Chain A
Amino acid sequence: MSNNNHQLKEKFDQWQSSIEAKLSKHPESKSSYATDAGIPVSRLYTPLDVSGNYEEQLNFPGEYPYTRGIQPTMYRGRLWTMRQYAGFGSAKETNERFKYLLSLGQTGLSVAFDLPTQIGYDSDHTFAQGEVGKVGVAIDSLEDMEILFDGIPLNKVSTSMTINAPAAILLAMYIAVAEKNGVDAGQLRGTIQNDILKEYIARGTYIFPPEPSMRLITDIFAYCSEQVPNWNTISISGYHIREAGATAVQEVAFTLANAIAYVQSAINAGLEVDQFAPRLSFFFNAHLNFFEEIAKFRSARRIWAKIMKEQFQAQNPKSMMLRFHTQTAGCTLTAQQPNVNILRVAYQALSAVLGGTQSLHTNSKDEALALPSEEAVTIALRTQQVIGYEIGVTETVDPLGGAYFVEKMTDEIEEKVWEYLKKIEDKGGAVKAINDGYQQREIHSSAYQYQKAVETGEKVVIGVNKFQVEEEPPSGLLRVDPRVMDEQKAKLQALRSSRDNARVDASLAKLKEAANTNENLMPYILDAVKSYATIGEITNVLKEVFGEYQQTVSL
Chain B
Amino acid sequence: MGKPIRVLVAKVGLDGHDRGAKVVAQALKDAGMEVIYTGLRHTPEQVVETALQEDVQVIGISTLSGAHLYLIPPVAQLLKEKNASDIMLLSGGIIPEEDHAALKEAGVAAIFGPGTSTEDIVTFIKSNVS
Contacts and interface: CB of A to CB of B under 8 A. Distances in A.
The answer to whether A binds B is yes
Interface of A: 115-116, 118-119, 121, 127-131, 134-135, 199, 202-205, 243-245, 331, 334-336, 368-371, 444, 447-448, 451, 455, 461, 463-464, 473-474, 477, 479-480, 551, 553, 555
A130 B19 CA distance: 22
B129 interface: no
Given A129-B70, A130-B70, A447 B16 contact: no
Contact of B66 (A135, A203, A331): A135
A464 B16 contact: no
Given A129-B67, A447-B22, 12 more contacts: A127-B14, A130-B69, A131-B15, A199-B16, A205-B14, A371-B66, A451-B118, A473-B98, A477-B96, A480-B66, A553-B39, A555-B25
The 8 A-B pairs with the shortest beta carbon distances in the complex, nearest first, are A204-B16, A130-B70, A130-B67, A553-B39, A115-B14, A134-B66, A473-B97, A335-B114
B18 A130 contact: no
Given A204-B16, A464-B115, A551-B40, A451 B23 contact: yes
A128 B43 CA distance: 11
A455 B13 contact: no
A115 B13 contact: yes
A459 to B, nearest CB: 13
Interface residues of B, number: 36
Residue of B13, B38, B71 ringed by the most chain A CB atoms within 10 A: B13
Nearest to A134: B66
B26 interface: yes
Interface string B83-112: 000000000001011100000000000000
25 contacts: A115-B14, A115-B15, A118-B14, A130-B13, A130-B70, A130-B71, A131-B14, A205-B14, A244-B19, A245-B19, A334-B115, A335-B114, A368-B94, A369-B94, A370-B94, A444-B22, A448-B22, A448-B26, A455-B118, A455-B119, A474-B97, A480-B66, A551-B41, A555-B26, A555-B37
A134 B67 contact: yes
A303 B37 CA distance: 37
A370 B23 contact: no
A447 B23 contact: yes
Nearest to A450: B23
Contact of A455 (B16, B29, B71, B117): B117
Contacts of A243: 19
A156 to B, nearest CB: 33
